[in-house]
Homo-oligomer: A and B are copies of this chain.
Amino acid sequence: MGSMRATDTDRIPPHPEVAAVTLQQVLDALVDPVRRSIVTQLADATADIRCGDFDLPVSKSTATHHFRILREAGLIRQHYAGTSRMNTLRRSEVDAVFPGLLDALVNADRAAAVSR
């Protein structure tokens, strides 16, 4: 077959509906400090963040693993821009299904960062 330009949909695995995600899945995702750091950095940002631009204390392959967990938990949305994978926090969608949860966690993380 000739060379075909891959669409975003081809290169990024499907995102679940947040309503189809269990609380257990969300907590399993957010209990890890690295993943919580990703969420917090996204919550503090004004624009999407490239995978490689996060400040993370793990290897690249481990980071990929964490992004996948977050995506499958319905917490982030990913799309390609060139070779870069961009990440957005699915804030309103998550808030609709788990009211107050993200706010409580992000605020608690911020407070911990201040007192530390």
Of A9-17, A26-34, A59-67, the one touching chain B: A26-34
Contact of A23 with B108 at beta-carbon distance under 8 Å, contacts A28-B31, A31-B31 already known: yes
Per assembly, the copies of the chain total 2
Complex formed: what's the CA distance from A107 to B28 in Å? 17
A residues 92-111 with Cβ under 8 Å of B? Answer: 98-101, 103-105, 107-109
How many residues of chain A get a CB closer than 8 Å to chain B's CBs? Answer: 19
Does B23 contact A109, Cβ atoms closer than 8 Å? yes
Complex formed: what's the CA distance from A100 to B109 in Å? 13
Apart from A24-B33, A27-B30, what are 4 other A-B pairs with CB-CB below 8 Å?
A27-B31, A99-B104, A99-B107, A100-B103
